[in-house]
């Protein structure tokens, strides 16, 4: 017998998609990642899953207008002819004088950068710590809403690097996707599949897992041998073979380690890679492209934050950022 109000699962059955939580007909639906899923919402989830699979295979029906992270990213790669991700890491100490001490200065600074570069990027990546450290979460919310409204084809990745047990991860997923309305979020895979499932339960959203990070200390754990392979290789294999059933996953691989970019590309096929580490961290653009581009010349979100944000120090900071973004996009495109 089906649950109340058209719940697609059986009463007292379990929802196999997330944590085997029990169906709850009394709540008019079944429990999914702490939310209640109604029959029509469930249908939408199935439709979006189908669209994501078709977009990956290139067989989507244009009339169905798929709106997943993967399809929006693929369209931005194409429409803006760009693999550049501009990272929004606002540090007020580096702001131009006219924005220093302004109550909405963080929003103003980042919105200025976004408006000046939106036609040159494939995505934006705000780093949550820069906002939270200054009690500016409301400005982060406003910034993401601003980007959605003014630049609707450009996906926003919330860089939060979350990772916790399932029940807590459910709250982080609500924070990223429902509070901030991000299109994707960065996640630490260290606690395993059940810690990632609450994010995967949003099949139209991107889940970007740390694999081979750009910092020197990344080698402390990610380079450990685990039964004949390196830990980062195991992460890549797990994600592509077991976690990516909705086609919504991507991996972080630093531009500072091109040999590992090549190895990850070998393991994951065409899965998108978020590649931070060019610009301020000194990663090499040519080596990154040679190691990481797909056969179609895409597959990468190459992040630069400080080198673009602080290219200029005056009132024309956004124009200076645009010039830096343009040069970086073109330097990337030279090797596609
Ligand atoms: O997940 C990330 O974005 C990330 C992963 C990584 O391995 N290395 C890394 O630098 N990042 C982030 O990418 C951005 C790099 O900034 P810049 O070095 O200024 O370009 C920062 O927001 C970092 O938090």
* Cα 284 to middle of ligand 1, angstroms: 15
**CB 126 near ligand 1, within 6 Å:** no
**CB 328 near ligand 1, within 6 Å:** no
**CB 305 near ligand 1, within 6 Å:** yes
User: Average per-residue pLDDT in the chain?
Assistant: 88
pLDDT at 67: 86
Q: How far is CA 33 from CA 46, 172, 210, in A?
A: 16, 11, 22
Angstrom distance (rounded) from CA 279 to CA 262: 20
Angstrom distance (rounded) from CA 229 to CA 243: 19
**CB 56 near ligand 1, within 6 Å:** no
**CB 127 near ligand 1, within 6 Å:** yes
By the 8 A CB rule, do 220 and 84 touch?
A: no
* Cα 276 to middle of ligand 1, angstroms: 5
Identify whether 28 is a catalytic site residue.
no
Flag residues of the chain having pLDDT under 50.
1-44
By the 8 A CB rule, do 194 and 235 touch?
A: no
Q: Indicate the top mutation candidate among 84, 87, 91, 332 to test ligand 1's pocket, ranked by most ligand atoms within 8 A of CB.
A: 87
* Cα 210 to middle of ligand 1, angstroms: 11
**CB 254 near ligand 1, within 6 Å:** yes
- Structural domains in the chain? 4-62 (no CATH), 69-333 (3.20.20.70)
pLDDT at 54: 56
Handedness of CA 322, 324, 325, 327 (dihedral sign): positive
* Cα 183 to middle of ligand 1, angstroms: 18
Q: Which of 28, 50, 94, 161 is flagged as catalytic?
A: 161
**CB 219 near ligand 1, within 6 Å:** no
Predicted complex ipTM: 0.99
Spatial CA neighbour of 308 closest among 266, 278, 263: 278
Instruction: Write the residue with the smallest CA distance to atom 24 of ligand 1.
Output: 127
**CB 206 near ligand 1, within 6 Å:** no
In the beta sheet, which residues pair with residue 229?
A: none
pTM score of the predicted model: 0.84
Secondary structure of the chain in the HEC alphabet? CECHHHCCCECCCEECCCCCEEEEHHHCEEEECCEEECHHHHHHHHHHHHHHHHHHHCCCCHHHCCCCHHHHHHHHHHHCCCCEEEEECCCHHHCCHHHCCCCCHHHHHHHHHHHHHHHHCCEEEEEHHHHHCCCCHHHHHHHHHHHHHHCCCCCEEEEEEECCCHHHHHHHHHHHHHHCCCCEEEECHHHCHHHHHHHHCCCCCEEEEEEECCCHHHHHHHCCECCCCEHHHHHHHHHHHHHCCCCCEEEEECCCCHHHHHHHHHHHCCCCEEEECEHHHCECHHHHHHHHCCCCCCCEEEEECHHHHCCCCCCCHHHHHHHHHHHHHHHHHCCC
Helix axes 137-150, 105-117, angle to 10 degrees: 20
Q: Indicate the top mutation candidate among 276, 301, 306 to test ligand 1's pocket, ranked by most ligand atoms within 8 A of CB.
A: 276
Spatial CA neighbour of 216 closest among 250, 251, 252, 254: 254
Half-sphere exposure of 183 (CA within 13 A, CB side): 22
pLDDT in tens, 118-161: 999 999 999 999 999 999 999 999 999 999 999 999 999 999 99
* Cα 125 to middle of ligand 1, angstroms: 9
Q: How far is CA 14 from CA 21, 30, 118, 325, in A?
A: 6, 9, 44, 49
* Cα 112 to middle of ligand 1, angstroms: 21
pLDDT at 65: 55
């Amino acid at each position: 017998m089906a649950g109340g109000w058209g719940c697609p699962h059986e009463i007292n059955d379990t929802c196999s998609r997330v944590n085997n939580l029990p169906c709850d007909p009394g709540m008019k639906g079944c429990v999914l990642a702490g939310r209640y899923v109604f029959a029509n919402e469930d249908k939408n989830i199935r439709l979006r899953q189908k669209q994501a699979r078709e977009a990956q295979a290139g067989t989507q029906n244009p009339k169905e207008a798929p709106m997943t992270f993967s399809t929006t990213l693929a369209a931005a790669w194409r429409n803006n002819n760009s693999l550049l991700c501009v990272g929004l890491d606002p540090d007020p100490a580096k702001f131009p004088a006219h924005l220093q001490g302004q109550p909405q200065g963080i929003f103003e600074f980042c919105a200025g950068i976004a408006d000046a570069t939106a036609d040159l990027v494939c995505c934006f990546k705000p780093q949550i710590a820069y906002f939270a450290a200054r009690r500016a979460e409301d400005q982060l919310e406003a910034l993401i809403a601003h980007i959605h409204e003014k630049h609707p084809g450009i996906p926003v990745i919330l860089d939060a690097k979350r990772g916790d047990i399932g029940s807590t991860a459910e709250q982080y997923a609500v924070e990223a996707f429902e509070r901030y309305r991000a299109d994707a979020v960065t996640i630490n895979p260290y606690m395993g599949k059940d810690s990632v499932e609450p994010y995967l339960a949003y099949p139209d959203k991107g889940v970007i897992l740390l694999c081979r990070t750009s910092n020197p200390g990344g080698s402390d754990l990610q380079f450990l041998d685990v039964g004949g392979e390196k830990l980062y290789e195991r992460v890549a294999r797990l994600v592509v073979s077991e976690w990516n059933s909705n086609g919504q996953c991507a991996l972080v691989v630093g531009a500072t380690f091109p040999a590992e970019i090549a190895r990850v590309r070998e393991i994951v096929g065409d899965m998108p890679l978020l590649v931070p580490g060019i610009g301020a961290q000194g990663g090499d653009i040519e080596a990154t492209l040679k190691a990481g581009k797909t056969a179609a010349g895409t597959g990468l979100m190459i992040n630069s934050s400080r080198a673009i944000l602080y290219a200029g120090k005056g009132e024309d900071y956004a124009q200076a950022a645009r010039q830096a973004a343009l040069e970086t996009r073109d330097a990337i495109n030279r090797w596609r």
